[in-house]
Amino acid sequence: MLNLDKVIIEFDKGLRTLFAQAQSVRPFPDKDLPDAELNEAEKKHAAGLMRVNHTGEICAQALYQGQALTARDPEVQKRLLLAAQEETEHLAWTAKRVNELGSHLSVLNPLMYTSSLALGAFAGLIGDKWNLGFLAETERQVGAHLQSHLSSLPAQDAKSRAVVQQMYVDEVGHSEMAIELGGAELPLPVKLAMRATGKVMTRTAYWV
Ligand SMILES: [Fe+2]
Ligand SMILES: [Fe+2]
């Protein structure tokens, strides 16, 4: 199931996720929008939120890669890789936005990547039904979290909002895809543990 070639390919993907500039095939959602007037505090807040989203996308890359490493069904693997491509675009959009807001990406990214990769591989190993259920729940929680960012971002920051809005649409699509492919509903304690872990990640990445 796990062969060395695959591991090397995924390792290379990991390095690129962390250290190379992600590319977007679709146009950037904020491409036609002007930069708004933001005061220092608003800029800092928006940058913090977009940094959290970028770190979330680093985790998404790793989760999808971990799952693609271990998923059994070729159809499932194919769909996961397609969704992962959209996640790469999210990575590009959020990184650019953090930059434009004059801030830096999270120093936690390598750590977050490694732990999410392990989690993704583990979810893949316990079987496609749970693997996909885990994915559906992750995307659902990310969607809820993006909605909360839409209420928290400065109202005039149309660029960040456009990026978050399109990511939200994509994440809902990923969640639906995972259910459609046979994802099981996770037990409540697992969902709660995932929510708690997500909170720690978002609270720390906001600052560092
Ligand atoms: Fe995403
Ligand atoms: Fe997603």
Centroid of ligand 1 to alpha carbon of 41 (angstroms): 26
Centroid of ligand 2 to alpha carbon of 124 (angstroms): 16
Centroid of ligand 2 to alpha carbon of 34 (angstroms): 26
What is the C-alpha separation between 64 and 81, in angstroms, rounded?
7
Centroid of ligand 1 to alpha carbon of 135 (angstroms): 12
Split the chain (208 residues) into runs of 10 and give each run's mean pLDDT. Answer: 70 80 90 92 96 94 82 82 90 96 95 88 84 92 95 96 97 94 91 90 91
Centroid of ligand 2 to alpha carbon of 86 (angstroms): 7
What is the C-alpha separation between 48 and 201, in angstroms, rounded?
12
Would you state the pLDDT for residue 100?
96
What is the C-alpha separation between 50 and 172, in angstroms, rounded?
19
Would you state the pLDDT for residue 2?
59
| Local structure of 37: helix, strand or coil | coil
Q: Dihedral angle at the C-alpha atoms of 208, 96, 44, 87, nearest 10 degrees?
A: -60
